[in-house]
Amino acid sequence: MQGETKSTVQDIENPTSRFTGDAPALNRGAPGAQAVRAPTYDKRAIKAIINVIRRKRSFVFMYEDVMIELEKLIPNEDEREELEAKLIVDIMFGEIKHLYMLTVNDWGIWNIIVASPIELNNEQLAILGILAEHYDSAYYRSDLYELHLNVKNMRKHVYEAINAAIRAWSKKKPADMAKMLAEEYGIEA
């Protein structure tokens, strides 16, 4: 009959071979070679992150630090809050290349963000997660407070340890990370 198709052995073994068309398959990129480009993103958000990296000279910072920078760049509170909400979700779900959120118990402005010049694998993220656990004062048992543990000092050591790990894995400095983000997202330094 006209318009009827028969399944062949090849179709059964490779069922996608007969489906052709313009639409890319779900969860796959479009076929053919493509140039790798950073996604478009509000440059003010990326600029705020770059400013924090440069100011702190660190791969590691709190989300609160980014919010403070955004206040300087975006005076309109409604616009800034909308961008902050999008930014936190995008960092948490890996939508912004090179940025990782290390949650400390529940989500909050004190969560740690790591900017890494290299893509971190699951093992590296697990190591950073273990280090980040020591950042939160709720981690410490009450009997340790009797030892006069200086939580602020402990947080400084956590930042230093995470920075050292990123430096060792990437062989780069925070200034290199800031430059990389600026180039990738087309932001003037």
Instruction: Output the pLDDT for position 53.
Output: 97
Take residue 19 and report the two structure tokens written for it: 């489906």
Predicted pLDDT of residue 132: 83
Do 66 and 52 touch, CB atoms closer than 8 A? yes
Q: What's the confidence (pLDDT) of residue 35?
A: 39
User: In 76-90, which positions are buried (b, 16+ CB within 10 angstroms) versus exposed (e)?
Assistant: eeeebeebbeebbeb
Name, in order, each residue with C-beta under 8 angstroms of 39's C-beta and a sequence gap of 6 or more: 95, 96, 97
Do 135 and 103 contact (CB within 8 A), yes or no?
Answer: no
pLDDT at 150: 62
CA distance 186 to 32: 25
Position 72 scores a pLDDT of: 94
Total-model pTM: 0.70
Alpha helical stretches, state H, the chain: 9-13, 43-56, 63-73, 77-92, 122-133, 142-145, 151-170, 174-184
In this predicted structure, what is the pLDDT of residue 36?
A: 42
Q: What is the pLDDT of residue 156?
A: 82
DSSP 3-state assignment of 62?
Answer: strand
Tens of each residue's pLDDT in the chain, 189 residues? 444 444 444 444 444 333 333 333 322 233 333 334 445 678 999 999 999 999 999 999 988 899 999 999 999 999 999 998 889 888 888 888 899 988 755 556 668 899 999 999 999 999 998 888 766 555 555 555 544 456 667 778 889 999 999 999 999 999 999 999 999 999 886
